[in-house]
Structure 1
Amino acid sequence: MSDQVDWNRASPLPATRRTSPAPQPANLADLLERVLDKGLVIAGDIRINLLDIELLTIKIRLLIASVDKAREMGIDWWEHDPTLSSGERDLAGENKRLRERLHELEARSGP
């Protein structure tokens, strides 16, 4: 019997022992969906020292996640920030108050 292998023929291994094909690279949309679903944290510190005296420290913290995932982690600062949350802005009420104030000032100033 010969121990030579004919590499041009199909693999002599049974189908159950064959390895699965190499995984295909994920496209950008799949990768972004996975990152937003699971979340990604990047953290780092930059320190500048001169003769063992700390002159500057910069702490960098970056979280990339979907809004749902962030809420799940207890992060919801954007809901309470009046510059970002439309719920905090009562534009109609503010407009009404300003019109009333304007009318009052015009009434005081006379004809």
Structure 2
Amino acid sequence: MSSTPLPAPSASLVDLLDRLLDRGLVVNADVVISLADVPLIGLNLRAALAGIETMLSYGVMAQPGEEGAARGLETPHPQAGTPSG
């Protein structure tokens, strides 16, 4: 009784894109550029790629018309130099 190996499942570009938009992808990177062991520049990079429904469900993006909700701002900040109260 001999068995033939099954071909590996191949995912097309459309399948990969569908999965990416459905589940999303988040990339976080911290980069420090230094010269002679002296840190000069620090970068904190964060990127999220997903479909609009996925981003809305995770709270990464605000509904259209809700400015600042995705950044965690409950109310808009007052303008600098404007008297409050």
Instruction: Identify the match of residue 31 of structure 1 among 16, 23, 38.
Output: 16
Detail structure 1 runs of 4+ shifted over 3 Å in the superposition: none
Which runs of no fewer than 5 residues in structure 2 stay unpaired? 68-85
- Structure that is richer in strand per residue: 2
Which runs of no fewer than 5 residues in structure 1 stay unpaired? 1-11, 83-111
Give the distance between the partners of 1:28 and 1:51, measured in 2 at CA: 44
Give the % identical residues: 30
Residue 59 (str. 1) matches residue 44 (str. 2): yes
Tell me which of the two structures has the higher relative contact order, counting C-alpha pairs closer than 8 angstroms and 6 or more residues apart: 2
Question: 1:20: how far off?
Answer: 6.7
Larger Rg: 1 or 2? 1
Give the structure 1 partner of residue 25 of structure 2.
40
TM-score by length of 1: 0.49
Instruction: Identify the match of residue 71 of structure 1 among 51, 56, 64.
Output: 56
- Please give the root-mean-square deviation of Cα atoms over the aligned residues, in Å: 2.3
- Structure that is richer in helix per residue: 1
TM-score by length of 2: 0.62
Give the distance between the partners of 1:32 and 1:56, measured in 2 at CA: 34
